[in-house]
Amino acid sequence: MTASLAEIIFTPDGAMPLQEPPSGVIALRRTLLPTSRGKIIGHHPRIRAALATIERVAKSSCTVLISGGSGTGKELIVAALHDASPRSRAPLVAVNCGAIPEALIESELFGHAKGAFTGAHAARHGRVAEAEGGTLFLDEIGELPLSMQVKILRLLQQREYSPVGDSRTLKCDIRIVAATNRDLEQEVAEGRFREDLFYRLNVIHEHLPALHERASDIVVLAEHFFRVCTERADRRDLKGFTPDALEAMSVYEWPGNVRALENTVERAVLLSAGPLIGLEDLPPRIRGVAPAPTETSARPLPDAGIDLRATVENYENDLIRQALERTGGNKNRAAQLLNVNRTTLVEMIKRKRI
């Protein structure tokens, strides 16, 4: 019986099935998930179904929308789609729509002419031109301002655009893939996302489940990250996990999804005394221990006093780490949780080397 593409890719080590598939499928497997972009790991039916969909639509140039929470693997699915397509030798250009200031997003995407605005000392190609012949990946498309959505609609409908400050209309040959962790239908209903753009994007829609929705994959993923992290950290003394550690990870809901699981395993690999990673090596929230009270009444001032600046700095650092972990590393969401501007948070992360 010939193995499907999903059976080939979604194995812990990328191992080949016992029975060799046709040569064309083998060639596709070799290009689908390059090591530089990571692997899609898991056996859950919804994950296997996602890759089966990618396999079916890869040869076309239809628009694909990938939805799911932060850390669910949207970027890997997009890479798989690109690498399995006839466009695989051309660039895959990613644009995080939520990470670019509104005033710069049009220039970033479409480029600009010389003198188009203050500081535009030379003409510049945008991301659309960089993706020519390949794939343009619009990550977090739900963050696009309405003023830009109409221009993306034109790009989708007519495959044409105009650089900022340039009267020319340029044609392009690109495939557009978008991803979001928002419910775009809800965004449409609330007037924050154009309905016509949503339907243009929603040709092929694949929703990736949260990690707790495919809990059967948690142990497989944890063991994969264990192998990667022990090699990277040169921890040959570590042999694996204790049963209670695996059980605790299996029942935890993982708000940061796969990315949070990877971070947790890496932390345990770095800090564990070994030879097995046990329950005590996992963060308190995962092993079901309530955090210590943070109210000032529960933490009296020691008789010897404290270093106030260092204490406040450590508390601030801890809150930033918690916000980043809860949001799977999404700085926009983390900034919202902390009620600060994104640029302020980014500067704090750099300054504190978090």
Q: What mean pLDDT is predicted for residues 314-320?
A: 87
Beta-carbon count within 10 A of 40 CB: 24
What value does the mean pLDDT of the chain take? 82
Give 299's pLDDT tier (boundaries 50, 70, 90). low
Q: Do 212 and 254 form a contact (C-beta atoms < 8 A)?
A: yes
The answer to whether 187 and 197 are in contact (CB under 8 A) is no
The mean per-residue pLDDT over the stretch 108-137 comes to: 85
Predicted confidence (pLDDT) per residue in 273-296, tens digit: 889 999 999 998 898 754 555 444
* Overall average pLDDT of the 195-216 stretch: 94
Beta-carbon contacts of residue 54 (< 8 Å; ≥ 6 apart)? 77, 80, 81, 84, 206
* Residue 162: other Cβ atoms inside 10 A: 16
Token output for 348: 């704090």
- Say how many C-beta atoms besides its own lie within 10 A of residue 123's C-beta: 14
In terms of pLDDT, which residue wins out, 310 or 28?
A: 310
What integer is the mean pLDDT of 182-211?
A: 93
Gap between the Cα atoms of 269 and 236, Å rounded: 10
Q: How confident is the model at residue 43 (pLDDT cuts 50, 70, 90)?
A: confident
CB 71 within 8 Å of CB 22 = no
pLDDT of residue 38: 56
User: What is the average per-residue pLDDT within 295-322?
Assistant: 76
* 53-105 tens-digit pLDDT: 999 999 999 999 999 998 899 999 999 999 999 999 999 999 999 888 888 89
pLDDT band with cut points at 50, 70 and 90 for residue 314 = confident
What are 64's strand-pairing partners? 177, 204
Residue 248 has pLDDT above 50, yes or no: yes
Domain 59-209 = CATH 1.10.510.10:
no
Measured CA to CA, the distance from residue 65 to residue 196 in angstroms comes to: 14
Confidence label for 31 from pLDDT (cuts 50, 70 and 90): very low
Q: What is the 3-state secondary structure (H, E, C) of the chain?
A: CCCCHHHHHCCCCCCCCCCCCCHHHHHHHHHHCCHHHCCCCCCCHHHHHHHHHHHHHCCCCCCEEEECCCCCCHHHHHHHHHHCCCCCCCCEEEEECCCCCHHHHHHHHHCECCCCCCCCCCCECCHHHHCCCCEEEEECHHHCCHHHHHHHHHHHHHCEECCECCCCCEECCCEEEEEECCCHHHHHHCCCCCHHHHHHHCCEEEECCCHHHHHHHHHHHHHHHHHHHHHHHCCCCCCEECHHHHHHHHHCCCCCHHHHHHHHHHHHHHHCCCCEECHHHCCCCCCCCCCCCCCHHHCCCCCCCCCHHHHHHHHHHHHHHHHHHHCCCCHHHHHHHHCCCHHHHHHHHHHHCC
Q: What percent of the chain has pLDDT over 90?
A: 54
Total residues found in the chain within this entry: 354
Give the pLDDT confidence score for residue 25 in this predicted structure: 33
When pLDDT is cut at 50, 70 and 90, the band that residue 337 belongs to is confident
What is the domain partition of the chain in residue ranges? 59-209, 212-281, 306-352
Whether the per-residue pLDDT at 114 is higher than 90: the answer is no
pLDDT range class, residue 323, cuts 50, 70, 90: confident
d(C-alpha 24, C-alpha 48), whole Å: 19
Do the beta carbons of residue 137 and residue 80 sit within 8 Å?
no
Q: Say if residues 275 and 239 touch (Cβ distance below 8 Å).
A: yes
Residue 348 clears pLDDT 60, i.e. is over it: yes
Q: What pTM, to 2 d.p., does this model score?
A: 0.70
For domain 212-281, the CATH class is mainly alpha
- Tell me phi and psi for residue 206, to 5 degrees: -120, 120
Class of domain 306-352 (CATH, top level): mainly alpha
